[in-house]
Structure 1
Amino acid sequence: MQASTVAITGGTGFVGRHLAERMPPGSAVVISRRTGVDVEDVEALTAAFAGCDVVAHCAGINREIGDQTYERVHVRGTATVIEAAKRAGVRKIIMLSFLRARPSCGSPYHESKWAAEELIRASGLDYTILKAGMIYGRGDHLVDHLSRTVQTIPIFATVGFREKPIRPIPIEDLTDVLEAAVNGRMPRATVAVVGAEQLLLSKAVRRVAAVLGRRVVVVPAPVWALYALAQLTEWTMTVPLVAKAQVRMLAEGVVDAAPPAASVPDDLLPRRRFTAEQIRSALPEPGGFGLRDLRLFADR
């Protein structure tokens, strides 16, 4: 099959950047606010999509800041992407959603991702919606934050007195699935993507700490306390230690799709476990959190 030309919204973000790097030279158009294209600007998106066969819609946020709301980015932004794709003659949209995105669940993040999914399914275009769980790799919010946390203070609080499991996905495995969708697989499908290994977040923390040669004490904490911490860090940090949407994810567990969705084809199932080798490949530069991570000191 001839390689497709793909436009990647959120192309400078964690997932979008890895997908762009995977594409053959000259076959990816990277689109983001950093490249001067707003996800609600239909004219600019139409021009950016010109000549592209596929749009990989990876743009998204895990917290609201100013006018960057879930409604604006996830819902209205997706509607604009669909309209621009139709104008530009794009044949397929691939959307990166969340494993447990669903309606009427009380979480604006989950509900807005679900609303975006529904817009894609009703668009009339070919599509693949990837309901992905927790993704990790260099530049992520999982290993990055866990490693910096244990290097700052050797204490980790669980999300709830009874932890729920996660199935972390290496970015390499997720990119394999995205690339297959770009090349025509999983047409008109909504599929769940989860990692090969199921474990508790506290166990993941201990593995990260072991790779770093650190000791960490895990203490149980109620979910409400983590919501309070999330609100505080959303107010005070440039990239929050944890966002409220992430607390909701961890309180529920990130293992099963809601509503249920088909799995990816067997040859695309993630196979890499959360091993020391995988953790090392995802680690950021050494160091914990400091004043530079606070909004008050970010520009100083």
Structure 2
Amino acid sequence: MRVAITGGTGFVGRHLADRLGPADTVVISRRTGVAIDDVDALTEAFRGCDAVAHCAGINREIGGQTFRRVHVEGTVAVLEAARRAGVHRIVLLSFLRARPGTRSGYHQTKWEAEELVRASGLEFTVLKSGMIYGSGDHMVDHVTRAVRTFPVFATVGFHERRARPLPIADAVDVLVAALEGRMPHHTVALMGAEELELGAAVRRIAKVAGGHPLYIPAPVWAIRALAQVTEWLMVTPLVAKAQAMMLAEGVTEAAPPAPEPPPELRPSRPFSEDSIREAMPDGGFGLRDLRVVHRIIEHRRPAS
């Protein structure tokens, strides 16, 4: 099976490519020089592939990289390119709470991408994924670096939200099964085996990371304000506005409701200290994580 992976250098796409191996994958991303809305370039990339794993997505908007351009226009282009290239199966990685009628551009455009895939006429699987963690993620990575850097850690709201953290290995298992055609024409809710409060998840990560911050519950509006500031200041924000909404809602139920994978494919790994340790980065946050410092370093880097 030969698979084209959009967003193939991103978190999930990279792990999927590693699982399948270079001989069986075509990695597509801005880093490989293929724009997500370039139908002609996508068509050439898709030729000879049996399926497309559409993992491309963003959690914040920067310049022309808007939610609509990446999630909606990008999906339109991917579907058209798949038809032209003779690819008959597509697997879309979406978000658990993606739905219409929200104030979140992220949630709305992810939902529109789902609807485009379901109406495409291609064999499809839509994976509405919850909170995925693993090496290079935005969960264990960010919490670890934050508790190692700051003396205070803000939790979301005064009522505990819940989550079912999903190990990247389990997420890739289900992605591969969908690419093989084992869940055709289905929309599936993809979450981890263990459900726990977000605060408990943070404390478990902090314990493994060796951090001992003071935990302070903060109202949702304060987390959103923090998200806006970190989007302005950081290369990869401590928390993005779309992520703040995810945390405020909790990440345990699909919206609209969707079934979980069949029992034989359902994620089974717990949110254990060993799995957290495998995902953990070195060190904490530093000056290089600030956008202004990053730009200076990039400007001074000699051209290759």
**TM-score for the superposition, normalised by structure 2:** 0.96
Which amino acid counterpart does residue 298 of structure 1 have in structure 2?
Answer: H
Give, in whole Å, the separation in 1 of the partners of 2:36 and 2:211. Answer: 42
User: Deviation string for 1:26-63 (max 9, x for gaps)?
Assistant: 11110101000000000000000000010000000000
- Match for residue 230 of structure 1 among 223, 227, 231: 227
Q: Is the Cα contact below 8 Å between 2:94 and 2:129 reproduced in 1? A: yes
Give, in whole Å, the separation in 2 of the partners of 1:190 and 1:44. Answer: 28
Equivalent position of 1:130 in the other structure: 127
Which amino acid counterpart does residue 70 of structure 1 have in structure 2?
Answer: F
- Match for residue 83 of structure 1 among 77, 80, 83: 80
Give, in whole Å, the separation in 2 of the partners of 1:42 and 1:100. Answer: 28
Equivalent position of 1:55 in the other structure: 52
The 5-angstrom pairing of residues 212-251 of structure 1 reads: 212-251=209-248
150-159 vs 119-128, greater mean Cα deviation: 150-159
Aligned to 1:211, the other structure's residue is in SS state helix
Shift of 1:107: 0.9
Shift of 1:210: 1.1
Which amino acid counterpart does residue 196 of structure 1 have in structure 2?
Answer: A
Give, in whole Å, the separation in 2 of the partners of 1:172 and 1:290. Answer: 29
| Aligned-CA RMSD value | 0.8
* Residue 162 (1) aligns with residue 130 (2): no
Equivalent position of 1:268 in the other structure: 265
Aligned to 1:87, the other structure's residue is in SS state helix
Give, in whole Å, the separation in 2 of the partners of 1:220 and 1:26. Answer: 48
Aligned to 1:263, the other structure's residue is in SS state coil
**Sequence identity percentage:** 65
* Residue 12 (1) aligns with residue 9 (2): yes
Which amino acid counterpart does residue 164 of structure 2 have in structure 1?
Answer: R
Shift of 1:212: 2.1
* Residue 110 (1) aligns with residue 107 (2): yes
Give, in whole Å, the separation in 2 of the partners of 1:212 and 1:22. Answer: 27
Which amino acid counterpart does residue 120 of structure 1 have in structure 2?
Answer: V
Equivalent position of 1:68 in the other structure: 65
Q: Is the Cα contact below 8 Å between 1:163 and 1:251 reproduced in 2? A: no
Give, in whole Å, the separation in 1 of the partners of 2:68 and 2:210. Answer: 42
Which amino acid counterpart does residue 12 of structure 1 have in structure 2?
Answer: T
Which amino acid counterpart does residue 175 of structure 1 have in structure 2?
Answer: V
Unaligned runs of 5+ in 2: 298-304
Equivalent position of 1:292 in the other structure: 288
Give, in whole Å, the separation in 1 of the partners of 2:209 and 2:11. Answer: 23
Give, in whole Å, the separation in 2 of the partners of 1:230 and 1:58. Answer: 23
User: Deviation string for 1:183-240 (max 9, x for gaps)?
Assistant: 1110011000011111122111111111122222211110000010000000110000
Give, in whole Å, the separation in 1 of the partners of 2:65 and 2:212. Answer: 38
Give, in whole Å, the separation in 2 of the partners of 1:161 and 1:35. Answer: 44
Equivalent position of 2:184 in the other structure: 187
User: Deviation string for 1:268-294 (max 9, x for gaps)?
Assistant: 111111111001000012x11111100
Aligned to 1:130, the other structure's residue is in SS state strand
- Match for residue 283 of structure 1 among 264, 280, 283: 280
Shift of 1:163: 2.0
Q: Is the Cα contact below 8 Å between 1:206 and 1:216 reproduced in 2? A: no
Q: Is the Cα contact below 8 Å between 2:6 and 2:56 reproduced in 1? A: yes
Equivalent position of 2:206 in the other structure: 209
**TM-score for the superposition, normalised by structure 1:** 0.97
Give, in whole Å, the separation in 2 of the partners of 1:218 and 1:24. Answer: 42
Name the count of aligned residue pairs.
296
Give, in whole Å, the separation in 2 of the partners of 1:82 and 1:103. Answer: 21
Shift of 1:24: 4.4
Equivalent position of 2:300 in the other structure: none
Equivalent position of 1:95 in the other structure: 92
Q: Is the Cα contact below 8 Å between 2:95 and 2:128 reproduced in 1? A: yes
- Match for residue 42 of structure 1 among 39, 43, 50: 39
Per the alignment, do residues 202 and 25 of structure 1 end up closer, same or farther by CA in structure 2, a change over 3 Å counting? same
Shift of 1:85: 0.2
147-156 vs 96-105, greater mean Cα deviation: 147-156
